[in-house]
Amino acid sequence: METRISIGKPHNRIDGPLKATGRAPYAADYPAADLVHGVIVSSSIASGRITAIDTSAARRIPGVIDVLSHVHRPHMSSNGVRYKDTAGPPGTPYRPLFDERVLFAGQPVALVLAETYEAARDAAALVDVRYEEASFETDLAKAEAASYEPETKRSGVSPPPASRGDAAAAYVESTHKVAAVYLTSPEYHNAMELFATTVVWHRDETLTVYDKTQGSQNVHLYLTLALGMRRKDSTVVNAYVGGAFGSGLRPSHGVFLATFAARHLKRSVRVVLTRSQMFAMTSRPQAIQSLSLACDAHGHLQAVRHHAVAATSTYEDQQEVVVNWSGLAYTCANADFSYQLAKLSTPTPGDMRAPGAATGTFALECAMDELAVACSIDPVQLRLANWIDRDQNQDLPITSKALRECYEQAGARFRWSERRAEPRSMRDGRELIGWGMAGGAWDAGLAPLPTRARVTWRTDGRLEVAAGASDIGTGTYTILAQIAAEAFGIPVGGVDVRLGDSTLPLNPVEGGSWMAATTGAAVAKACELLKSTLLRKAYRLAGVSRRKSTVAFEGGRLKGERFAADGLSIEDILREHGTDIAETATILPPLFESKHVSYAHSAVFAEVRIDDDLGVLRATRIVIAVAAGRILNPKTARSQILGSVVMGVGKALHEEGVYDHRFGKVMNHSFADYHVPTNADIFDIDAIFVEEHDDEVSPLGVKGVGEVGIVAVAPAIANAIYHATGRRIRSIPITVDKVLGLT
């Protein structure tokens, strides 16, 4: 008896019509009676202390209710531990309006509260803050001298792997070798939706907090501890999120200030950050990487040495997995790794799509291209010559690795075999043409925390899926509906999905590309539990024994030899039961040391065209092949890969936070000056999913696709630029001045 197939089909997003028609409410859209508007006043210095705040002019603006600051505010806990969140690194988190200290430029120093947004905005411009400045450093090149290895490791972030062999001696003795320094700039997430919070104050003095976040339950826990509330005092909702890319993993200072103010005024409050203020939240940390590779005459790696210094703030030790990728990508018996931090007077950097991997892979894959040139081997063949099926860092087998097929399929689609190896050997009129490639990997598997989901057959005939997970535009609503629909043999349209609410079953923050694998597995498990419950009730209703028999769920009915020819309706079971029937399931992370590791893999082939006289460059063609286990929805998965590639193009060619180190400020803090790729910058992107079966990585055989698509894009483009020009550029973004050799 066949069931309706939903998994693996390119279903449209079930939330698409709401978003396309403007009916999907985002954090700043929720209505609230008697709403107060809050506008943040940001610090104008990078380090020091506030000596005075004059709010008299601001308070004279009609409609202004109050101006909160460290000298005028409700009580706050002095215990820094209470401000920690589940996604934060070691250190003492920033506490908005806590004291007179200024830790970074753009830090909130006051919050103006008014009856209208316009009044709050105008009054904020009149708050006069006086400072005593202190010395600071925002230049990583200067701070590198004081870099250090963090004493406390960040939870969930693996430290550099242990050295193996004698990399220094092997490097000296090798036939071919390269050594270079690679620089990556700070990047800012710049999702379309501004960070915003609407806090609705209820008569019973409870709060509903509508927030832009990647984890409603993480924010709920943070607010509960930081503000000394009971858990039942608030509910956090993030049903729809207009992009975040990692910037919403930690609670924003906006959600704290809005909730703080609502409790102070006993009124509903909305705080919306400006685009400029979002540059004072977090960013992908800039890094300086020294990488040395050596091989024999046949291209077999003899030595790998990778050292990285990454930026962090003065008050927390942000950490990422950067150098580890050089230890697991290719076979090498002699390897040495180190990873250090350097403190800057900036906000704590944060995770941004494929954190650490997009940084470390840029250096590694560019160095591999340099080594291929040094030993006159095709870049693909060099990678295949150093193929490995085992993770050398942990000495564990890899559950599946279809990267070879990624190279083959993407290379064939790209026509890599037609490439002429010599730099500057391919052109079209005045344009130089360059072809480059790179490979990449990203962690695959389950979330590191317990994950729950509830599935309910409701008396109105609808199947409901509920989980505290977040959908930040990735298609989570849709894939969870597909999983439940297939389990019960009903159309996807027959499933309602509830996400983004702190009262729903426990889920970790949306990150790490683990949502589909983990929450999806919890939904599938809950469906099986619910099917068992319905089957028991069906036997009782039909008056038959519960002996083992074949039963199928199809179209809202149970069909099998124990029932009538047309089966038994779930509606009849619910009518007899009298209420909804629900089951909840939990997926646990591995409780013991794993016997294997899992990664998703990608291969990227890129074409660039560069004006030989002007240096203007375009990434005109990109082919990416991805091996990510079972693909639940090729349409939404393809969208994730396309988005990743676009962000990779931005990393390679456009995105750079430019500091004026005299003032410690990001100077290009707007869409006018900080360039993210737009339609005019993006050309042909061809995404391929390589078939890959993996029954060990997760219960559904799923690997996440949200991040693996970005990791190899920047190095592939950088390698293509070398092939086009003969100029090796080791700092990104690669801009016209660098192509022309002016910087």
**Is 118 a known active-site residue?**
no
Closest CA to 534 of 549, 550, 556, 519: 556
Closest CA to 270 of 211, 322, 204: 211
- CA 697 – CA 516 distance, rounded (Å): 12
Closest CA to 149 of 335, 337, 291: 337
Residue 607, beta-bridge partner list: 435, 621
Q: Token pair for residue 674?
A: 């900080």
Q: Pairing relation of β-strands 599-611 and 617-627?
A: antiparallel
Active-site hit among 365, 655, 656, 707? 707
DSSP single-letter state for residue 544: -
- CA 193 – CA 191 distance, rounded (Å): 6
- For residues 293 and 379, the answer to whether their CB atoms sit within 8 Å is no
Separation in Å, CA 525 to CA 547, 585, 673? 22, 6, 48
Residue 651, beta-bridge partner list: none
Rg of the Cα trace of the chain? 27
- Map residue 559 onto helix, strand or coil: strand
- Map residue 718 onto helix, strand or coil: helix
Residue type, 267: R
Separation in Å, CA 460 to CA 131, 488, 495, 561? 62, 16, 12, 27
DSSP single-letter state for residue 495: E
Lookup result for tokens 């930040």: 472
DSSP single-letter state for residue 110: E
Q: Pairing relation of β-strands 269-272 and 36-42?
A: parallel
Give the N- to C-terminal CA distance of the chain in Å, as an integer. 68
3-state secondary structure 241-268: CCCCCCCCCCCCHHHHHHHHHHHHHCCC
The residues carrying an active-site annotation are: 707
